[in-house]
Amino acid sequence: MFSPLIDELMRSLRCLPGVGPKSAQRMALHLLERDREGANRLANTLHKAIEGVGRCQRCRTLTEQDLCGICNNLRRDSTLLCVVETPVDVLAIEQAGSYQGKYFVLMGHLSPIDGIGPDDIGVDALLALVQSEAVTEVILATNPTVEGEATSYYISERIKPLGVVVSRIAHGVPLGGELEFIDGGTLAHAFSSRRPL
Amino acid sequence: MFSPLIDELMRSLRCLPGVGPKSAQRMALHLLERDREGANRLANTLHKAIEGVGRCQRCRTLTEQDLCGICNNLRRDSTLLCVVETPVDVLAIEQAGSYQGKYFVLMGHLSPIDGIGPDDIGVDALLALVQSEAVTEVILATNPTVEGEATSYYISERIKPLGVVVSRIAHGVPLGGELEFIDGGTLAHAFSSRRPL
Ligand SMILES: [Zn+2]
Ligand SMILES: [Zn+2]
């Protein structure tokens, strides 16, 4: 309905998650009518990021350096290794502020249906890392979903033979959460994982 | 929190309307982890569109051609000229499918507070167009907002001296709309604009 170039821009914007036809239209017209400078900066940054951003050689997270900021930080405790699914999980844990160890980012989880196996989430690299560095405890912090649980179980079975402690972060009622608003699955888990006082 | 290049990409994505920090983060990581091809296509299309897209020389809408598809269409009725605020309004009217005339796109509305005056919405170009083409009726289809009404009023006062019919599209209860769900302003307008049967 618009001119070919504008239609093409609208189609291209659909690669962004959560952007449907209506949003793409609003975005394209906004950029062309009111923010060509922002659009140009976005295009340049996209090119630079595609070109420059790769994986941290140690923890697999996204970074344009050989080693990410956390892997490169000598003050972090290398004996603790926290395994998470994505870079956003690292961010969430860092923002909580209490963890001082290092990370390993799977960049996904096991999903046989989608053909995602141990190789795709770097399990061999994880095992090599646990052995080459003096890791004493691996903390599994994958999501409490079916896939996340299966991934944690698989990894724990692979790591245990190395004689390293493997733990799983606790799941249950969030601090400050009111029981009446917690979903049934979480509540059932909180009961079955209860601990003696 | 992420590496500098990824942080920069997240910031750049904020130029898109409706995209806050959380969405920008999700978008940047999605593109880098899963759709670099789409990101590259988006960057290229942004550059091409910024470079190529300008204004239709006749109706002011966005297009990469000298004249947009509608202005260039010899089968459209040049004696009818519909004045709208934005290219999206043209799209909406075209999708309704009953209007066969041409358009003039203000690319905004009068807004003294924001320093947007008649020059910024092309009123002189509109008057010149009405005179140079054999326009017999100008249909004002600006939005039924305070600014849209003021803009329509101003334009009608400028066009009337040219001896051309000026009309305003009707506003009221939408067809199929149930009265109980219509806002009070629309309903009040529908009453004050009632017509004898
Ligand atoms: Zn790293
Ligand atoms: Zn045109």
CATH code at A112? 3.40.1360.10
| A101 located within any domain | yes
| Number of domains comprising chain A | 2
Residues A82 and A131 in one domain: yes
In this structure, the answer to whether residues B88 and B162 fall within a common structural domain is yes
Cα–Cα separations (whole angstroms), residue A65 to A53, A82, A167, B2, B110: 8, 21, 30, 11, 50
Q: How do residues B143-189 score in pLDDT, each as one tens digit?
A: 989 999 999 999 999 999 999 999 999 888 888 878 788 888 888 88
Instruction: Tell me the C-alpha distance between B181 and B187, whole Å.
Output: 10
- pTM check: above 0.80: yes
CA distance B33 to chain A (A): 8
> B74: which 2 tokens?
């010899």
**Residue B197 falls within a domain, yes or no?**
no
**Residue B68: alpha-carbon gap to chain centroid:** 14
Beta carbons of B48 and A6 less than 8 Å apart: no
State whether B69 and A35 contact (CB < 8 Å).
no
Residue B79 lies in a domain: yes
Tens of pLDDT, residues B54-91: 999 999 999 999 999 999 999 999 999 999 999 999 98
Q: Among A136-145, A176-185, B26-35, where is mean pLDDT lowest?
A: A176-185
Q: Rounded mean pLDDT of B10-29? A: 96
Which residue among B13, B41, B91 sits closest to A42, beta carbon to beta carbon? B13
The answer as to whether B123 is a domain residue is yes
How far off is chain A from B140, nearest CA to CA, in Å? Answer: 21
Q: What is the per-residue pLDDT for B112?
A: 93
B195 band by pLDDT with thresholds 50, 70 and 90: confident
Question: What is the nearest CA distance from B105 to chain A, expressed in angstroms?
Answer: 12
Q: Which two tokens stand for residue B68?
A: 């947009």
Tell me, what's the pLDDT at B83? 95
| Ion ligand 1 nearby residues (CB, 5 A) | A 56, 58-59, 68, 71
CATH number of residue B45's parent domain: 1.10.8.420
pLDDT over 70, % of chain A = 100
pLDDT score at A108: 94
A179 falls within a domain: no
User: pLDDT-based confidence at B132, cuts 50/70/90?
Assistant: very high
The beta-carbon neighbor of A6 closest among B32, B43, B53 is B53
Cα of B105 vs centre of ligand 2, distance in Å, is 8
User: How does the average pLDDT of chain B come out, rounded?
Assistant: 93
Give ipTM to 2 decimals: 0.85
Q: What confidence score (pLDDT) does residue A174 get?
A: 85
Query: Which domain does A17 fall in, by range?
Result: 10-52
Q: What is the residue whose two structure tokens read 């990469």?
A: B64
Does B48 map to a domain? yes
Interchain CB distance below 8 Å, B1 and A88: no
pLDDT at A98 over 90: no
- With CA atoms as reference, the chain A residue closest to B16 would be A27
Alpha-carbon distance B168 to nearest alpha carbon in chain A (angstroms): 25
Does the pLDDT value for residue B197 go beyond 80? no
Q: Which residue has the higher pLDDT, B91 or A1?
A: B91
**pLDDT score of B115 more than 90:** yes
**Residues A32, B49: C-beta atoms closer than 8 Å:** yes
Ligand nearest to the CA of B129: 2
Give the CA-trace dihedral at A158, A160, A164, A166, to 10 degrees.
90
Looking at the structure, tell me whether residues B160 and B111 fall in a common domain: yes
- Chain A's closest residue to B6, CA to CA, is A49
Give A128-153 pLDDT, tens digit per residue: 999 999 899 999 999 989 999 999 99
Looking at the complex, report in whole angstroms how far the Cα of residue B101 sits from the nearest Cα belonging to chain A: 16
Among A31, A62, A64, the residue with its CB nearest the CB of B33 is A62
Cα of A100 vs centre of ligand 1, distance in Å, is 14
Tell me, yes or no, whether A58 lies in a domain. no
Same domain, B81 and B161: yes
Q: Are strands B101-105 and B77-84 parallel, antiparallel or unpaired?
A: parallel
Residues of B in Cβ contact (< 8 Å) with A32: 49-50, 53, 62
pLDDT of res. A176: 80
Q: Is the backbone of residue A18 left (phi > 0), alpha (psi -120 to 50) or beta?
A: left
In a domain, B59, yes or no: no
pLDDT at B185: 83
| A-B contacts (CB, under 8 Å) | 175
Give chain A positions within 8 Å (CB) of B121. none
**Are residues A161 and A97 located together in one domain of the fold?**
yes
- Please name the residues in contact with A159: beta carbons below 8 A apart, sequence gap of 6 or more: A126, A127, A130, A138, A166
